[in-house]
């Protein structure tokens, strides 16, 4: 109800009207089950889309106050999708099967939805509970998923299931993030897959279109720190480490991360 009111939403698409029962919503509710799609036109829509047009609005968790709707433009979304293609060695395409398992309120779903749509991969929609690890692993194995996001809290447990798996694991691309990741944990995955698993650690706030940096794990890189680095800026993105007076910090000196570039959001919806 808060998001509907705060965003000024005028239409809700649903499969069941009971979803918003008891919610103070003054707009239109469209039940998709009531629409005879077979009678609709099938021609391409004649729509002119500009880079600065709004692509989506997704709400923050509200950990620093009330949740805010982050406005992401098409140019930012396109840049993110291009960056992911580059960072996965330009190796995403029709032979891939991307797992869609995250909550729609979590911006990782932007990757899970649009990467397969843009690059021609399949999408497997996981419909179980997120923390039902046996079922999640079963889907990854049986559907021959090749690209997936695995939350840090599940990495260890899923690894144990992979070790005991008695069938082929098709996974060859993995991205992690959200929380610090132990270097030794990614080393275990790399060893299990015998170096045939591309692993990206992604970092960034919702306001930077999912993420702003990435780090590709490589077994030959000597990492002497406990946690996996957040890596380097994505395409058309710059990262600055500043002190409290907005001065650049020398290498190795702590500071605050500041982000610039095409990936930054337009702002927060209905906020100045």
What CATH class is the domain 74-235? alpha beta
How open is the CA angle 87-60-126, to the nearest 5 degrees?
Answer: 60
Residue 136: the pLDDT is 95
Residue 242 pairs in a beta bridge with 248, 256
Q: Reply yes or no on whether the pLDDT at 64 is more than 80.
A: no
Note the pLDDT tens digit of each residue in 92-121.
999 999 999 999 999 999 999 999 999 999
Segment (H or E) for 6:
helix 2-7
Q: Reply yes or no on whether the pLDDT at 194 is more than 70.
A: yes
Q: Reply yes or no on whether the pLDDT at 20 is more than 80.
A: no
Q: Reply yes or no on whether the pLDDT at 206 is more than 80.
A: yes
Please check whether residue 14 is in contact with residue 31, taking contact to mean a CB–CB distance below 8 angstroms. Answer: yes
How many CB atoms sit inside 10 A of residue 213's CB? 21
What's the pTM value of the predicted model, to 2 decimals? 0.92
What is d(CA 173, CA 185) in angstroms, rounded to the nearest whole number? 16
Residue 17: the pLDDT is 74
Note the pLDDT tens digit of each residue in 136-174.
999 999 999 999 999 889 999 999 999 999 899 999 999
């Amino acid at each position: 109800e808060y998001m509907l009111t705060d965003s000024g939403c005028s239409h809700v698409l649903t499969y069941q009207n009971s979803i918003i029962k008891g919610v103070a919503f003054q707009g239109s509710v469209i039940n998709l089950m009531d629409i005879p799609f077979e009678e609709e036109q099938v021609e391409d829509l004649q729509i002119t889309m500009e880079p600065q047009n709004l692509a989506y609005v997704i709400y923050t968790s509200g950990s620093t106050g009330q949740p805010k709707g982050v406005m992401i433009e098409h140019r930012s979304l396109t840049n993110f999708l291009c960056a992911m293609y580059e960072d996965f060695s330009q190796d995403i395409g029709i032979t891939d099967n991307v797992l869609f398992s995250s909550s729609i309120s979590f911006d990782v779903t932007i990757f899970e939805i649009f990467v397969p749509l843009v690059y021609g991969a399949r999408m497997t929609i996981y419909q179980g509970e997120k923390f039902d690890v046996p079922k999640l692993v079963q889907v990854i194995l049986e559907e021959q998923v090749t690209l997936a996001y695995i939350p840090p809290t599940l990495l260890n447990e899923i690894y144990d299931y992979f070790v005991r798996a008695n069938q082929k694991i098709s996974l060859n691309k993995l991205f992690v993030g959200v929380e610090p990741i132990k270097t030794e944990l990614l080393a275990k995955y790399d060893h299990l897959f015998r170096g045939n698993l591309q692993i990206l650690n992604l970092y960034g706030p919702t306001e930077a279109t999912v993420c702003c940096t990435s780090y590709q794990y490589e077994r030959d890189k000597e990492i002497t720190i406990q946690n996996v680095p957040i890596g380097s800026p994505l395409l058309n993105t710059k990262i600055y480490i500043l002190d409290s007076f907005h001065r650049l910090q020398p290498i190795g000196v702590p500071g605050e991360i500041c982000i610039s570039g095409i990936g930054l959001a337009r702002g927060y919806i209905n906020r100045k």
